[in-house]
Structure 1
């Protein structure tokens, strides 16, 4: 996994993130347009930053483009919300899993709703199957998201192409395939499909709330300090005119 977070590979994600930034710009413009350009009351930016964080996280992880505000009932958005939802029952489950794992195994306890984890399992296996089929055509587009990077890493480490005849559209076929790989003693040579699914869920889970809260705090801070906001605005314009690469943030 560490190889995925090199500077070069992270820079490849910039176009995906830029698309989500443009969507957030459009959402902010809609708020300004509704008030005729005059914001007479405080604006709750948490829904906007939350939508951006969710969209960008999904885009860089799975390569899927969604609109959290325009299509809030999208299944992948609903399941991410369920992943991040905390309740007393979930806290009790986590406590038992950490303190008495053997009891958790006996009771078949899971930190997350099994329906949610099953959804992401099936989604990931479906995307893998789709990419395997598309990669066989001449018009295949090279993807740079995390899922694709993990698939490329698995192919490289196993020194073989993934058999396009295998199907992963449901969890049972995925389970049968992993048993075959384990029997072939390939378990330790790169990521397994279970590990890829787990890593995708982990990235989505860890990236959403932290990104959303960080951006919200930054926006609130510069809104409370207009002089800092103006200085930041001028510096960004300077670097934007020079068309400097993403590293310009280190010079601000």
Structure 2
């Protein structure tokens, strides 16, 4: 009887302690005199964001209510939502050493224990090493070499458009852009000459599309890892282990493929691995992203040093597993973002015929200077100022960066604009509120399409369509490439 009483007392004390600690966590913003929506116990604001049709739009609505800096909670983790550009500049640029990583989730730390980790998720010195190797891959000289591959895919799309025009029927140009973009990526990323524009059932197109149909935010393991961060590594490791089991079952028992279908990301990486295996024949080598990375690859183990090491002492090599992971990243990052940006450009120009005509005049002018009649190359496109302004204005109004790309996690306690930020707290920009701030983007109405507004010099953080700061570099190059 006494033992049972003591046991129940201990359990009760633990429960009360757990509740008190968590309730105290929700005082994080109050003690800093930062406003925000009222959190619900245990969930914070996570449940609201999970159920929102557009989490980014939800943040913009809260910004209108609580101002340019306010606080929310993912479980008990504090997240500062900011549309104050001076505050964001301090976090993303001036104090980057305190905020060098994106918000960690159940996969980030688990993946960093493995070998197939790409630039997006890499942490510490591993990220610095990969950045030092990959950034030069996107130099102008190397991008020019891929122009013929891109032009072939674009020309294939242009052959199809007259047929749709002659039929006078509605068609989904977004679908055509996705196929064309995937063709470009497969050719430029790892040298697979696909023909997805004539074969919409292509397996590569299906697998990459599946990557985006899986909303990881709504998966039970991800939700639990968000609410109970201490379980993050365990859940992430289990998630990876189960996918590995599915992969092995498919190899041993091909008839089980549908029943134990592995995640599309793993399937794509396997295909990249196969292509690498076929690159041993020098005569068949071609200029693409994979080949450029393989030239900097090593089969030796690369030991990353402490995070405070200078860049000059970091190895300028990638492992073959890192090459595989980064080619996959290129495919995924380029596919959805590029096709979506093209679709928005089309939509905006159709609704603004005057700007469309002005852009057409610029294009015709530069192409008329091309005496040999060849397709436009990197240099020609790069010399079109109005096109650059049009694309920037489209992406100002319809930013494609998502919260997973642009947020930052604090790794060391610091002070930002008078606000004490503790380790583990997250800073997340409200991109919509920044891009539609009349003070930043006036005097023209921010809700109107006006490419010329980009002729005026703005605050460095006024335009964050691809995020900002050192960890933005790779994604901006991918998007600019297209």
Return the TM-score normalized by structure 1: 0.74
Residue 81 in structure 1 maps to residue 212 in structure 2: no
Measured in 1, the distance between the counterparts of 2:212 and 2:143 equals 25
Give the 3 Å change call, closer, same or farther, for CA 32–131 of structure 1 in structure 2: same
Question: Counterpart of 1:70?
Answer: 198
Measured in 1, the distance between the counterparts of 2:138 and 2:242 equals 27
Kindly state the Cα deviation for residue 199 of structure 1 after the two structures are TM-superposed.
0.3
Question: Counterpart of 1:197?
Answer: 324
Give the 3 Å change call, closer, same or farther, for CA 84–52 of structure 1 in structure 2: same
State the secondary structure of the residue aligned to 1:245.
helix
Kindly state the Cα deviation for residue 142 of structure 1 after the two structures are TM-superposed.
4.7
Contact 1:97–1:109 at 8 Å: present in 2 too? no
Give the 3 Å change call, closer, same or farther, for CA 71–228 of structure 1 in structure 2: same
Kindly state the Cα deviation for residue 118 of structure 1 after the two structures are TM-superposed.
3.5
Question: Counterpart of 1:103?
Answer: 234
- State the Cα deviation string for residues 203-235 of structure 1 (Å, max 9, x = none): 111111111111111111111122222221121
Return the TM-score normalized by structure 2: 0.41
1:223 to 350, 375, 378: 350
Contact 2:156–2:197 at 8 Å: present in 1 too? no
- State the Cα deviation string for residues 16-61 of structure 1 (Å, max 9, x = none): 111111111112122123x1xxx3x554211111112221122211
Question: Counterpart of 1:168?
Answer: none
Measured in 1, the distance between the counterparts of 2:192 and 2:342 equals 22
Measured in 1, the distance between the counterparts of 2:223 and 2:185 equals 28
Question: Counterpart of 2:161?
Answer: 28
Residue 233 in structure 1 maps to residue 360 in structure 2: yes
Question: Counterpart of 1:152?
Answer: 295
Measured in 1, the distance between the counterparts of 2:163 and 2:222 equals 41
Structure 1: gaps (5+ residues) = 159-177
Give the 3 Å change call, closer, same or farther, for CA 111–216 of structure 1 in structure 2: farther
- State the Cα deviation string for residues 42-84 of structure 1 (Å, max 9, x = none): 5421111111222112221112222224212222122111112
Question: Counterpart of 1:49?
Answer: 177
Question: Counterpart of 2:62?
Answer: none
Question: Counterpart of 1:92?
Answer: 220
Kindly state the Cα deviation for residue 15 of structure 1 after the two structures are TM-superposed.
1.3
Report which of the two has the higher share of strand. Answer: 2
Q: CA RMSD in A?
A: 2.8
State the secondary structure of the residue aligned to 1:64.
coil
Residue 125 in structure 1 maps to residue 258 in structure 2: no
- State the Cα deviation string for residues 168-223 of structure 1 (Å, max 9, x = none): xxxxxxxxxx6xx33xx688561111101110111111111111111111111111
Measured in 1, the distance between the counterparts of 2:241 and 2:362 equals 48
Measured in 1, the distance between the counterparts of 2:287 and 2:364 equals 28
Kindly state the Cα deviation for residue 86 of structure 1 after the two structures are TM-superposed.
2.4
Kindly state the Cα deviation for residue 102 of structure 1 after the two structures are TM-superposed.
2.4
Residue 212 in structure 1 maps to residue 339 in structure 2: yes
Measured in 1, the distance between the counterparts of 2:207 and 2:367 equals 37
Measured in 2, the distance between the counterparts of 1:123 and 1:58 equals 11
- State the Cα deviation string for residues 136-175 of structure 1 (Å, max 9, x = none): xxxx255221101101122xxx5xxxxxxxxxxxxxxxxx
Aligned pairs (5 A) from 1:164-183? 181-182=300-301
Contact 1:94–1:111 at 8 Å: present in 2 too? no
42-51 or 228-237, larger mean C-alpha shift:
42-51
Q: Which runs of 4+ in 1 moved over 6 A?
A: 110-113
Contact 2:190–2:289 at 8 Å: present in 1 too? yes
State the secondary structure of the residue aligned to 1:108.
helix
Name the larger-Rg structure: 2
Contact 2:216–2:222 at 8 Å: present in 1 too? no
Question: Counterpart of 2:286?
Answer: 143
